[in-house]
Amino acid sequence: MLNLDVSMGLVRVTEAAALKSARLIGRGDKIAADQAAVDGMGKAFEFMPIKGTVVIGEGELDEAPMLYIGQKVGMWEDYMPEMDIAVDPVEGTILIAKGLSDAIAVVAMGPKGSLLHAPDMYMKKIAVGSKAKGAIDINKSPKENMINVAKALNKDIRELTVITQDRDRHQNIIDDARELGARVKVFSEGDVTAVLACGFENTGIDLFMGIGGAPEGVIAAAGIKCLGGEMQAQLVPHTDEEIKRCASMGINDVSKIFTIDDLVKNEDVYFAATGITDCPFLEGVAFSKDNIATSHSIVMRSKTGTIRFIEAIHDLNKSIIME
């Protein structure tokens, strides 16, 4: 019973963040949207039946008043499990501010010690869904990985779709894909959403490659692990200060290749997300008259392989989270 309570509790956490921030869609204020999500998520965590510690959050204690690294969340009763928590109250604050697709509220959770404490810096990542597991190698070229993933999926290379962020640093990925004849989809923000899209066949996305945030990489790894997929990663520090930051977090070899089991070290992890705006696998929050809202969420658990899609109708007049 506790596991179901935990799963549904996580959904309520991401729902709260999504509902609060969705009021600010298209209003041009990414800071206010993020703060609204943090407020909603923080309040919802008070009702979670866990002893949780934020290991990936909004920053250090002196950088963030809530959901900071090291913060204790949950109800903290003696019988409750100790859990690592990784949060991104809004993945894609710019997307909300501009009213664009692919913004989500997301949480990953696992037993204490299970989530890599990733420093806030860049990380190179490659990911696929379950049917291409074993076909990727971050040390190989983008072209080699595309060919190998296409073979694993029994697809002609022209049927392969690669997703990468629309940044100059990824031009080699785009060039390689086009030279091979593969399809390319670029996104502006939000690589957790892009990685997760590889895990669902109906999105049409086969392979993720690119460099993005390391904390988001751990959250994405939890999600793709729940989906049975694979991810590899490598930190990309740019300064001596970032290298020192890695060492302070116990990462002495900055060239280390992280497997999905390095990023998420336990086989019993949870992942939940709620759409704020529409994304490839979730609809965004929709408001109707009389302060009623509809949300769409996903919650997954790697141990059981359970994937739940949850549509909820919220009477915001009665919600203590929305106060």
Binding residues for Mn(2+): 34, 58, 88, 91, 216
Annotated binding site: 34, 58, 88, 91, 216
Phi, psi of 187 (to 5 degrees): -130, 155
> What whole-number distance in Å separates Cα of residue 173 and Cα of residue 138?
13
Q: Do residues 122 and 167 touch, judged by C-beta distance below 8 A? A: no
Q: Cα–Cα distances in Å, from 155 out to 6, 138, 231?
A: 39, 21, 20
Total Cβ atoms within 10 A of residue 79: 7
* Structure-block tokens of residue 189: 């923000």
**CA torsion sign, 225 to 231 to 232 to 233?**
negative
Closest-CA residue to 55 (of 125, 110, 123)? 110
